[in-house]
Amino acid sequence: MIKVTLKDGSVREYPAGTTVLEVARSISQGLAREALAGKVNGKTVDLSYPLQEDAAVELLTFNDEEGRAVYRHSTAHVLAQAVKRLFPEAKLAIGPAIQDGFYYDFDVPQPFTPAQLAQIEEEMNRIIKEDLPFKRVELSREEALEHFKKRGELYKVELINDLPEDAVISCYQQGDFDDLCAGPHVPSTGRLKSVKLMNIAGAYWRGSEKNKMLQRIYGTSFPKKAMLDEHLFRIEEAKRRDHRKLGQELDLFSIQEEGPGFPFFHPKGMIIRNELENFWRQEHKKRGYREIRTPIILNRSLWEQSGHWAHYKENMYFTKIDDADFAVKPMNCPGSILVYKTSLHSYRDLPLRLAELGLVHRHELSGVLHGLMRVRCFTQDDAHIFMLPGQIKDEIIGVIDLFDYFYNTFGLSYHVELSTRPEKSMGSDEIWEIATNSLRDALEAKNMSYKVNEGDGAFYGPKIDFHLTDSLGRTWQCGTIQLDFLMPEKFDLTYVGEDGQKHRPVMIHRVVFGSIERFIGILTEHFAGAFPVWLAPVQVRVMPITDRHHAYARELVKKMEALDIRVELDARNEKINYKIREAQTQKIPYMLVIGDREMEQGAVAVRRRGKGDTGAIAVDEFLVKIQEEIKNKTIF
C-alpha cells in the first residue's frame, strides 16, 4: 500500500499502481468526471499515471490554470491532427496552450484561408466525436529522431536535438496521429467540447525574423458551450471598448495617413489630457518635484555620451542643422542631466526631483503601431530624482506612495514586479546589491507583495514595474521606477558632500502614467468611454424642451460656465428623446432637461448617465453636487 496526501491535507491509502484517475474516483464520481489531469509531487501527469510510491496528489480540473492549459494543449493536438488529415503536406512546429486558448504553428506552402479554417474546425469536431484516447509513449532520443525524420517533420527533429541530455522524450498518440509532446493530456479527444478557431497569423519559427514564417492558427476551447459564449462575449466587449473606435466616436483623437503613429488630439481629447496633466502637476508639486522642459532635438555628442547613439540608434530619428548631426530625443534623461549640471549641488540640496512632461519620438516598426497604445511619439510623465545613496529607500517609498495614489484615483488595481540584475550589466556587485536591497526594502516597508523577475532589470540598474488591471481584467504596464548608477557616471555628475569633496549621486528614473497617450487609451477602454465627471470632455448638457425654455437654459449655462463646469446647450429644434439619445451615446455624465416645471421652480431635471432620470432638484443643489464630484474625482 502507498500513502497519498491530497490537496486538503488528508491522507489515503491505495495499492501501488493505482492511477490518478482511480484516486479521483475514490474521492467522488463528480471529481472523476471533471478531472483533466493530475499533479503528483508538483509535476503534472496524465490521469492514467500509476502511483508507485507515497506521493502528494492533486487533481486538475478546468477551474485550475494548469488544468485549463492541459485542456487547451490537448485541443491543440486535435487541431494538428485535423490539419494533417486535410493537408498531409503540412509540417508541424509547436502548439502550446496560451492565456485564453492555444495555437499551433504549421509550415504549409500556402497560407490558410478563412474557409479552410472552418473546414479544419469541422474536422476537429469529427475527431472529438471519434473520442480517440491520448496514449503516451516514451522513447529514446534515437528512436524519436528516426521517427520524425522518417516523416519529414524537420521542426520536431530540431526540437528533439535541442532537448537537454537527460530529458525524457515522449510522444502522444491519438488515432492516426502522434506528436512529440511532454504532456500531460486529457484521457481522450471526447473530453473536449466547445472548440473554436479564432484567427490565422504569420509567426516566425521560434519567434525570430531570421527564420521561416509559419502559419499560426489560434483557437480556444471550453468544456461548456456557455463558457465559450461568455469568452466570445468578452472579446466583443473588448471590441466595443476599443479606444480607437471610441476615440473616433467621441471625437477625442485621430491618426492620419500623413502621420502614421503620430496621433492628433482633438479638442475633446485635449480636455482629458489637460485634466490628467493638471492633476499630475498638482500632485508632483505637493511632493516636492520641480518641473522642467528640455528640447526635443539635441546634438549628436550628447547621445554619444549617454550611450543612446551606440545602443538605441535603431529607434531614433535624426536630422542635420548647419551640417551638424542632431537627434530627436527618444528619452528625457540626458536633457534632465544637462539641467542638473548647470549648477553645483550640495548634499543639502538633494534629493533633487526634476519632473518633465517630455515628448519623445521612437521609431517603432510599422507593423506594431496600435492606436494610442503603440505610437511613434508620446509624452512621458517623466521625473529624475538625483539623490545621495542613503536616500534611495525613502525616495522609492515616496514614489510608490505617489503611484498608489494615482492608480487609486482611477479605480485601477495593480501588482508589482521587481527586476534584478541581468547578466549583461554595468557597475559593481556591491552597488547592485545596495540598489536591489533598497528597492526590496521599500516594497517591504510598504508591505507590498511583489513578483521577482530575476535578471530582468535594465543594464544600468534594477527596477520596479507597476502592472495595472483594467475593468476587463487585462493588465497594462504603466509605472516604472528604475535605479540608475550608470548615467551619473557617464555624465560625471557630482554633488559636494559634508566633507567638501565631490561625490557621485544616484538617479531614479520614473513614470507614473508611462505615456500620457497610452494612459488615455487605457482609461478609455477601462471606462468604456464613460469618463468620470472630472475627466469628461463635456460634463453637462442642458436640453430645453421647447423654444420658450431657451432663455432659462442659457442663464443656467452661463452660471455653470462661470464655475468652470464644461457645459453645452442643446438648443436644436429636436424632440427631447432625440437630444437624450445623442447625449447618452456621447456618454455625457449629466443631462439636464428643462421644461415648464423646472422653469417655474428654479430647478433642473437631472438625468444621469447610466442611471436614467433621477428627478428634479434645485439648481444650486445640483451645482454643489457636481462641483463636489469634480473636486473629489468621483468614479461612477
Partner RNA sequence: GCCGACGUAGCUCAGCCGGUAGAGCAGCUGAUUCGUAAUCAGCAGGUCGUGGGUUCGAGUCCCAUCGUCGGCUCCA
Binding residues: 333, 384, 509
Contact region with RNA (CB under 7 A), list: 121-129, 175-183, 316-324, 510-518: 175-183
Q: Which residue has the cell 515522449?
A: 170
- Binding-site residue total for RNA (CB under 7 A)? 69
Output 155 or 491, the one with its CB closest to RNA. 155
- The binding track of 95-124 with respect to RNA, each residue x by CB under 7 A or -, is xxxxx-----------x-------------
Q: How far is CA 350 from the centre of its chain?
A: 35
* Binds RNA (CB under 7 A): choice among 255, 331, 383, 523: 255
d(CA 35, CA 23): 11
Output 181 or 337, the one with its CB closest to RNA. 181
* 201: contact with RNA by CB under 7 A: yes
* 202: contact with RNA by CB under 7 A: yes
Shortest distance (Å) from residue 315 CB to RNA: 13
d(CA 63, CA 65): 7
Q: Are 487 and 506 in contact (CB under 8 A)?
A: no
Q: Are 335 and 356 in contact (CB under 8 A)?
A: yes
Contact region with RNA (CB under 7 A), list: 193-201, 226-234, 462-470, 553-561: 193-201
Q: Are 442 and 409 in contact (CB under 8 A)?
A: no
C-beta neighbour count of 414 within 10 angstroms:
20
Q: Which of 39, 41, 36 is nearest to 53 (CA)?
A: 41
* Binds RNA (CB under 7 A): choice among 435, 593, 619, 626: 593
* 584: contact with RNA by CB under 7 A: yes
* 578: contact with RNA by CB under 7 A: yes
Site for RNA in 536-565 (CB under 7 A): 545-548
Q: How far is CA 330 from the centre of its chain?
A: 22
d(CA 195, CA 86): 18
Q: Are 149 and 158 in contact (CB under 8 A)?
A: no
Distances (CA, A) of 615 to 569, 597, 610, 618, 629: 19, 12, 14, 10, 18
Longest dimension (CA), the chain: 93
d(CA 374, CA 396): 28
Task: For 289-424, list the strands marked E by DSSP.
Answer: 290-291, 297-299, 317-321, 324-328, 352-361, 377-387, 413-419
* Binds RNA (CB under 7 A): choice among 293, 575, 625, 631: 575
Q: Are 45 and 38 in contact (CB under 8 A)?
A: yes
Residue list for the binding site for Zn(2+): 333, 384, 509
- The binding track of 55-84 with respect to RNA, each residue x by CB under 7 A or -, is ------------------------------
Contact region with RNA (CB under 7 A), list: 313-321, 411-419, 507-515, 577-585: 577-585
* 137: contact with RNA by CB under 7 A: no
Contact region with RNA (CB under 7 A), list: 49-57, 159-167, 274-282, 452-460: 159-167
Contact region with RNA (CB under 7 A), list: 280-288, 312-320, 560-568, 573-581: 573-581
* Binds RNA (CB under 7 A): choice among 613, 620, 621, 628: 613
Q: What grid cell was written down for 425?
A: 550589466
* Binds RNA (CB under 7 A): choice among 356, 395, 570, 598: 598
* Binds RNA (CB under 7 A): choice among 63, 366, 428, 449: 366
* 257: contact with RNA by CB under 7 A: yes
Shortest distance (Å) from residue 589 CB to RNA: 12
Q: Is 42 left (phi over 0), alpha (psi -120 to 50) or beta?
A: left
Q: Are 458 and 482 in contact (CB under 8 A)?
A: yes
Shortest distance (Å) from residue 543 CB to RNA: 8
Partners of 59 in the β-ladder: 38
Contact region with RNA (CB under 7 A), list: 481-489, 490-498, 556-564, 594-602: 594-602
* 576: contact with RNA by CB under 7 A: yes
d(CA 481, CA 546): 56
Looking at residue 314, what DSSP letter applies?
G
d(CA 206, CA 242): 30
CB neighbour list of residue 168: distance below 8 Å, 6 or more residues apart: 138
Output 485 or 622, the one with its CB closest to RNA. 622
Output 460 or 590, the one with its CB closest to RNA. 590
Site for RNA in 436-475 (CB under 7 A): none
Give catalytic residues, as residue numbers.
Answer: 333, 362, 380, 382, 384, 463, 509
Site for RNA in 235-254 (CB under 7 A): 244, 248
Strand order through the sheet with 317-321: 297-299, 324-328, 317-321
Q: How far is CA 8 from the centre of its chain?
A: 34
* 601: contact with RNA by CB under 7 A: no
Contacts with RNA by CB under 7 A lie at 94-99, 111, 159-160, 163, 167-170, 179-182, 199-204, 206-209, 213, 215-216, 244, 248, 255, 257, 260-261, 365-371, 545-548, 573-578, 580-581, 584-585, 591, 593, 595-598, 605, 607, 612-613, 616
